[in-house]
Amino acid sequence: AQRVTQPEKLLSVFKGAPVELKCNYSYSGSPELFWYVQYSRQRLQLLLRHISRESIKGFTADLNKGETSFHLKKPFAQEEDSAMYYCALSGNSGNTPLVFGKGTRLSVIA
């Protein structure tokens, strides 16, 4: 069964400090992994996906199959990064649903 674990409900960091939002997954096949973000009063939106290997708003995430992790990182946090972040997993066939973690609320303190 697919499972996504985000161990931290809340993460508070100071502006300019590095950020790491943890995500671990469980899936028997080859997963596709995503980070979605929900800013205050906005709809949920895709931040990045592992297959594109890009950096969005300074965030990066590397899929580590050995550790079954997909942690989200940013070297210097900004106040506008404060939001709810969800890690999500999909199987590599179209018939598998997208499974979300419980989310981590990031609070960047000025």
Partner 1 sequence: EAQVTQNPRYLITVTGKKLTVTCSQNMNHEYMSWYRQDPGLGLRQIYYSMNVEVTDKGDVPEGYKVSRKEKRNFPLILESPSPNQTSLYFCASSEVGGSSYEQYFGPGTRLTVT
Contacts with partner 1 by CB under 8 A lie at 6, 9, 32, 34, 36, 43-46, 49, 86, 90-103
Q: Smallest distance, Å, CB 6 to partner 1?
A: 8
Cβ count near 11 (within 10 Å): 17
Is the Cα torsion angle 10, 11, 12, 16 positive or negative in sign?
negative
Whole-angstrom Cα Rg for the chain: 13
Q: Which is nearer to partner 1, 9 or 28 (CB)?
A: 9
Q: Which is nearer to partner 1, 9 or 14 (CB)?
A: 9
Q: Which is nearer to partner 1, 66 or 94 (CB)?
A: 94
Q: Smallest distance, Å, CB 45 to partner 1?
A: 7
Q: In the chain, what is the straight-line distance between the N-terminal and C-terminal CA atoms, in Å? A: 41
Q: Smallest distance, Å, CB 32 to partner 1?
A: 5
Q: Smallest distance, Å, CB 103 to partner 1?
A: 5
Q: Which position has the token pair 């997963």? A: 31
Is the Cα torsion angle 31, 4, 14, 64 positive or negative in sign?
negative
Q: Which is nearer to partner 1, 55 or 92 (CB)?
A: 92
